[in-house]
Structure 1
Amino acid sequence: MDLLLLAKAAIMGIVEGLTEFLPISSTGHLILTGSLLGLTEAKDKVFDIAIQTGAIFAVILVYAQRLKEAVTGVASSPAQRRFLLNVGIGFFPAVVLGLLFGKAIKAHLFTPTVVATSFIVGAFIILWAERRPASAVRIHSVDDMSPLDALKVGLVQCVAMIPGTSRSGATIIGGMLLGLSRKAATDFSFFLAIPTLMGAGAYSLYKERALLSLADAPQFAVGLVTAFISAYACVRWLLRYIANHSFVPFAWYRIVFGIVVLVTAWTGVVSWQD
């Protein structure tokens, strides 16, 4: 057993869990960390996507009661049916556009300039969203969302196909700009992550199954477990944080990280080509 490889897998899992649900782009952080650790092979890209499942299980645990109510009440409660329908509607655009344009985006947009620009532009959008008047908020709970609201957030999520944008950032900040409260936008972003990231992980594992073998199981297991633990801590912290704080600090972090991307690419420290 390669203990060094398992240690690297643990580090990658921690990075995934801490960044997946914050508006700071987990993909960008995984690329930077993976490059510094020497994890840049095709199999490592599959690993990066697969360990998202560990982070998703953390969301399922945090929202277990809400999800249980939705599943058990689907036959008797119109509100629960609408909730599940909204999640499905929000998930649908990512499936369609991902299958149509995912390969082209990977081939042409994964450059240091695009990644850094996405970080920095996203930061200014966060600052703009946080300056909106309180009167702009019209939806205070995910239960108040209409199917059209869900579709709009789902379309915004597709912007995250551009590397460096952040899926969480796109859905949370996009949701806020569409009239959702910070809490409602964050909750719906988490619910939307469940089918989106689990689907992406399953599809990646199936498509690249020829690269994997039983010998990779310990590495993937360590990554999944550490991603789950760090994501669980992060999600619980974020839900407490947004009760009294804005996303402005994350905007400034994105600006700094965008500069880091440009500097590491220019100096050759990180290979940002996928």
Structure 2
Amino acid sequence: MDLLLLIKAFVLGLVEGATEFLPVSSTGHLIIAGDLLNFNDERGKVFEIVIQLGAILAVCWEYRARIGHVVASMATEKTSKRLAVNLFIAFLPAAILGLAFHHAIKEYLFSPITVACALIVGGFAILAVERFAPRPDTFSVDEMDWKHALKVGLAQALALFPGVSRAGATILGGVMFRLERKTATEFSFFLAIPVMFAATAFDVFKARDMLHAADFDVFLVGFVTAFFSALLVVKGLLRFVAHHDFRAFAWYRIAFGLLVLAYYWG
């Protein structure tokens, strides 16, 4: 057992779980952390798929009662059917564009420099949203219609660029489209489930030859760490958005992006 490798797995699992549902870009942080830890080879990319699955299962666990109710009552309750349809509509833009440009994105955009630039630009975008966002007119996920869902889905497609942040794009996009902040956050959590499961399944299929039993202990450490750290973030973020805006995350993105640029250019 390689203790150093297990420590790297723990750190990366913590990074994934702590950032996946915050507007700071988990992919960007994983690219940078993996580069710094020298764990960014093909094996490291497969590891990232596994820990992303741990993070999304944390959302499934936190919302297990609601998910179970929606699945069981989809045929009989309008609100459950509407949520399922809205999630499907919001899922489509990123799915279509992701399939079309997956190779190009992985080949040309997954680097610390592009991520750092996206972090900085995204930070200023958050500040702009917080300054100019309109008053909300939708205060529950159950009140959303298909037009809300499509707009959030189009915003989510921006997160195909590493460093933009899927959570940031969907939550801040929702706020710009007049969703109340907590409503936008909850819909972002729900939307993450089909998006991340689909992305994980696609990446696992493509990387199936890289899965080896010898890596089980490393994957397990990262998976469990990502699950529990993501669970804490999901629980805490809803409480946070009830009383705060996202300016702190904006300044963090800008500072972190500048630090990364200074490190790699220096």
Question: Considering the TM-score relative to the shorter chain, is it more than 0.5?
Answer: yes
- Alpha carbons 1:50, 1:204 under 8 Å: kept: no
For the pair 1:78 / 2:101, whether they are aligned, the reply is: no
- SS where residue 80 of structure 2 aligns? helix
- Alpha carbons 1:20, 1:26 under 8 Å: kept: yes
Partner residue, 1:179: 178
- CA displacement at 1:261 relative to structure 2: 2.0
Partner residue, 2:135: 136
CA distance in 2, matches of 1:72, 1:111: 43
- CA displacement at 1:145 relative to structure 2: 0.8
Q: Aligned residue pairs: how many?
A: 266
Q: How does 1:250-261 map to 2 (within 5 A)?
A: 250-261=249-260
- Alpha carbons 2:152, 2:170 under 8 Å: kept: yes
What do residues 37-92 of structure 1 show as CA deviations (whole Å, max 9, x unaligned)? Answer: 22021110121122111111111111122212211111210110010111111111
CA distance in 1, matches of 2:61, 2:109: 35
Partner residue, 2:63: 63
For the pair 1:231 / 2:225, whether they are aligned, the reply is: no
- CA displacement at 1:111 relative to structure 2: 4.4
Amino acid at match of 1:41: D
Q: What 5-or-longer segments of structure 1 have no aligned partner?
A: 268-274
Q: How does 1:1-274 map to 2 (within 5 A)?
A: 1-132=1-132, 136-267=135-266
- CA displacement at 1:179 relative to structure 2: 1.1
- Alpha carbons 1:24, 1:254 under 8 Å: kept: yes
- CA displacement at 1:122 relative to structure 2: 1.1
CA distance in 1, matches of 2:126, 2:247: 7
TM-score by length of 2: 0.96
What do residues 20-47 of structure 1 show as CA deviations (whole Å, max 9, x unaligned)? Answer: 0000011111122112222021110121
TM-score by length of 1: 0.93
Q: What 5-or-longer segments of structure 2 have no aligned partner?
A: none
CA distance in 2, matches of 1:84, 1:261: 39
- Alpha carbons 1:119, 1:165 under 8 Å: kept: yes
- CA displacement at 1:107 relative to structure 2: 2.2
Q: What is the root-mean-square deviation of aligned Cα atoms in Å?
A: 1.4
- Alpha carbons 1:50, 1:202 under 8 Å: kept: no
Gap change, CA 1:113 and 1:44, over 3 Å in 2: closer
Partner residue, 1:272: none
